[in-house]
Amino acid sequence: MSNIVCRETEFAGYPLSLESGLLVPQANGAVKITYGQTTILATVVSNTTAKEDSDFFPLRVDYEEKLYAGGFIRSSRFVKRDGRPRDEAVIAARLIDHAIRPLFPSDFMDETQVVLTTLTVDRECDPLLVAMMASSAVLASSNIPWSGPIASVRVGLLKDGQFILNPKVSLFEELDLNLVISYLKDGKVLAMEAEANNVPDEKVLEAIKWGNEQAQPLFAFFENFAKEVASQKYTYQSYALRPELMDSVSAFASDRLRSMLATPVNKVDWADAYAKLREDLYKELEGKFSKNDMNRALEKVEKQTVRLLVLEDGRRADGRSFDQVRSLFIQAGVLPRVHGSALFQRELTQVLTITTLASGSMEQIIQDLYGEHRCRYFHHYNAPSYSTGEAGFMKGAGRREIGHGALAEKALYPILPGREDFPYTIHLVSEVLSQNGSSSMASTCGSSLSLMDAGVPVSEHVGGISVGLMTLPEDQSKYVILTDIAGSEDFAGFMDYKMAGTRSGVTAIQMDTKLPGLPLELFDEIFAKSKAGRLVILEEMYRAISQPRENLSPYAPRITCLMIDPDKIGVVIGSGGKTIKEISEKTGCEVNIEDDGEVQIIATEETADPKAAEEWIAGLVKEVEVGEIYEGVVVKTAEFGAFVRILPGKDGLLHVSEIAHHRVNRVEDELHEGDSVRVKVIRTDRDGKISLSRKELLPMEEDSSPRRGASGRSVRPDRQSKRDYNNRRY
């Protein structure tokens, strides 16, 4: 067994410990980290032979949530093994990837995998944050080349305007800002992700700077731990392209690329011209270098040309100014029958978003490390291969699609109405029809428009834009911040900063960089340009649709809500569900009942009668009191009396002795099924039985009027035979 190293400290009010040398002896690095009572096992393994055909660094990060960590068994009846990762776990892995990837050497191509496994979780220390700290500790202490450590923290903004470091999980719902951010020791920012409740841009910027100050104690702790583990970084085979290859490709392609960029063209024409250039390059250097190496070199020359065009010539490939948003086309209500739809197009980036509304029964049930909870709003993002003009397999959502959908979901959450005001389950789907930069922000804008088109009472529009950074890796002293980066600028640039919000504040952020960190001083300009671009887009969105439609789509379900005493739920459901099924069948409405007594009546067809269902349920749960008078309907007669429906679903017994002041021999002599009758409640029992009286509401003089018996002859009480009287039945 190798040397076991254990170190402890305290950070943000919780004990923090690192341990290496005991677990996972065959990995390049393994660390068990415990923060509070949340424990993560972090491992990293690297294959020391690079793939010959790789044109990117093959790093994979996996964040593994184990339900046993929270003391749960998978709720599926048939499959008990932990399954595919939740979307939230995929998003966590992406965030960790964004933070650690820039610190690997640029010529390092050894396939590397970081796995972060939850072993225990408490209710206070967030496992995602612990996993981020674990990734830093395991890479810094492993023998894999990496220039960390990094420090990751969570910055929360309380309702009173105060910041809080690494807030408890139980506080998340109360925060106006929830920011996860990773720093280098010199204050540079590597990655961040945030959700905010319409927080002013300036306050979010303040949170980024405040978080850097709070994160500083972590660096010394991680550095000292890595020194004690004493793993010597291994010598890797450089995958850098040979200088003679770069010189040859640059000499052949630079001028043609600059000429191509000098005349703005659309993405399709550019692709055709680029394909022709590549074929000419193959012919020019045939036999000297491999096609794979020539492709990699041509990409590097293309990136450098785009950068120099901006930095030296002061212009962008499409001719826009540095802070100009691409041309917009916006249309709400583009599809028939769906509940809401909108098309948002920014030059060649085009997104169609559809809103679907449903009842509470369609809420998503999610099982995570803290048990089960329900989600009434969710957003999905689809980007098929045709959106980039390519042919490909139609498969499920990948990590990118999941991440982009989650970003748009977070961005729109603050403007949604509460469940008490809008009791619908809300599903948004963004179909990306064309991609050329920042489709995630286009899906955010399209979703906001679609919600308004659906008549969802959102408070205001949310829009977003992507901001990029153009500089030279070898000399970062000169840089340009670009608003609304197109695909080629994202490809050649070094930052993708996406920020969404309203006219007054921020709702969501996601940022990653290809550089080993961005200086904090850059963020003043980044925020200013991002906000300015967002406001331009929001103005166009308001021109397209300025407020939610007054009425929901005729194809959307109509939901009526009422609250009943939870003790009365059984009355509405009935034995074996008989009563609630009868209500649904006779009114054409779906009826859902929550444990707290909330009843949802859902009408999906024009023939449905939600008013009748509401009255029926209200009648079932109403406490009938002695002395109340009702206009009822006879629903059944018997020898001893009549059953009268005084409220929907609630019947009382009108005994034969209470029908009239005179003697009634046969109930049918006075009442028949379907007759309306005015009755008074004279008695109620604990078991819910109701006794009624009709005679108490009749004048006494009616008793002297003649009545007709079954034979049609006039009958008076004093002429009834003794035999009839003795044989009366109640």
In 3D, which of 216, 205, 206, 208 has the Cα closest to residue 191? 208
Measured distance between the N- and C-terminal CA atoms of the chain, rounded to whole angstroms: 92
Tokens 């300036």 identify what position?
202
Report the sign of the C-alpha dihedral through residues 532, 536, 542, 548, in that order: negative
DSSP β-ladder status, 707-708 and 650-655: unpaired
Closest CA to 89 of 364, 365, 413, 369: 369
Count of C-beta atoms within a 10 Å radius of residue 240: 12
Closest CA to 518 of 144, 106, 99: 99
Sole residue written with tokens 């608003």: 483
480 within 8 A of 322, measured Cβ to Cβ? yes
> Closest by alpha carbon to 499, among 526, 522, 469, 539?
526
Helix locations, 108-200, DSSP H = 127-141
List phi, psi (to 5°) of 517. 100, 150
Tokens of 371: 């048990």
Q: Which two tokens stand for residue 489?
A: 């600028």
Single-letter residue type at 122: D
Dihedral over Cα of 440, 446, 451, 454: its sign: negative
Q: Is the distance from CB of 483 to CB of 532 less than 8 angstroms?
A: yes
Beta bridge partners of 375: 364
> Is 651 known as a binding-site position?
no
Could you tell me which of 373, 332, 329 has the C-alpha nearest to residue 355? Answer: 332
Strands 425-434 and 377-382: what pairing?
parallel
Which of 634, 629, 599, 626 is closest to 615 using CA atoms?
A: 599
Residues in Cβ contact with 272 at an 8 Å cutoff, skipping those fewer than 6 apart: none
List the structure tokens of 641: 């009396």
Q: Report how far apart, in Å, the C-alpha atoms of 212 and of each of 186, 197, 208 are.
A: 9, 22, 7
Tell me whether residue 490 is annotated as binding.
yes
Alpha-carbon distances, residue 645 vs 55, 277, 630, 691 (angstroms): 78, 85, 9, 12
The answer to whether residues 4 and 230 touch, using CB atoms and an 8 Å cutoff, is no
Q: Give the bridge partners for 509, in sequence order.
A: 194, 499
Beta bridge partners of 424: none
* Separation of alpha carbons 549 and 468, rounded Å: 36
- Measured distance CA(452)–CA(552) in Å, rounded: 10
Neighbours of 81 (CB within 10 A): 7
Report which of 667, 661, 649, 567 is spatially closest to residue 613, judged by C-alpha positions: 649
Q: Are 642 and 654 in contact (CB under 8 A)?
A: yes
Where is the binding site, in residues? Answer: 490, 496
Where is the binding site for Mg(2+), in residues? Answer: 490, 496
